[in-house]
Amino acid sequence: MNVVVPWSRRRYQYTRKHNCLRASGTVRMRDRTYGFDETSAYATLDHGRGRWPYSTLWNWASGSGHTDGHEIGLQFGAKWTDGTPPTENAIRIDGRIEKISEELTWRYDPQDWLAPWHISGRCVDLTFRPEYNRNSCHDRIVVRSREDQAFGVFSGTVTAQDGTVYQVRDVYGWAEEVHRRW
């Protein structure tokens, strides 16, 4: 899914989010080697270009997996597109990408990143259950980068444009809140 977010006539962000990309290969860490098999491993591409506002806050969630014989891809964003026409929300069912133009509701506890998150809207009703949170914070007053990126599983339902409801069970991915001043 590709989106251009216009903040003004001179400031924009083009973002490209692709999930359900098959991955294979190995990663070696110290004395251990981890293998990835393309029948069960996924990657996500996040590519962007543009001029961000000095201070930006965003949510991003992504997941890829299988449920009931269907390949499911989840792509959701919030906060950074507020006040602009586009969203970066989409679902991917068996290779078909369907744009979700509505803003979704995100409910989570920034005091407890491992508590369940809920993402919902007209065609999305998902609970994200984190297993691990990666936190980083670099603060030099003028330049700041703070993020909490939780990894875990999504469960619930997504509804395609034709009205078909798809179950989502334990689709692995992440959800994050990030604040940047740059």
Quick check: 79 and 108 in contact, CB under 8 A? no
Per-residue pLDDT, 141: 86
Percent above pLDDT 90 for the chain? 89
Pairing of strands 42-50, 89-93: unpaired
Residue 176 counted as domain residue: yes
Domain count along the chain: 1
Q: State CA 58 to chain mean position distance.
A: 10
Residue 40 counted as domain residue: no
Per-residue pLDDT, 124: 98
**Two tokens at 99?**
């744009």
- Mean pLDDT score, 132-151: 95
Per-residue pLDDT, 163: 97
- Whole-structure pTM over 0.85, yes or no? yes
Residue 20 counted as domain residue: no
Residue 33 counted as domain residue: no
pLDDT beyond 90 at 1: no
Per-residue pLDDT, 145: 95
> SS3 breakdown of the chain: % helix, strand, coil, rounded to 5?
0, 70, 30
Residue 146 counted as domain residue: yes
Residue 2 counted as domain residue: no
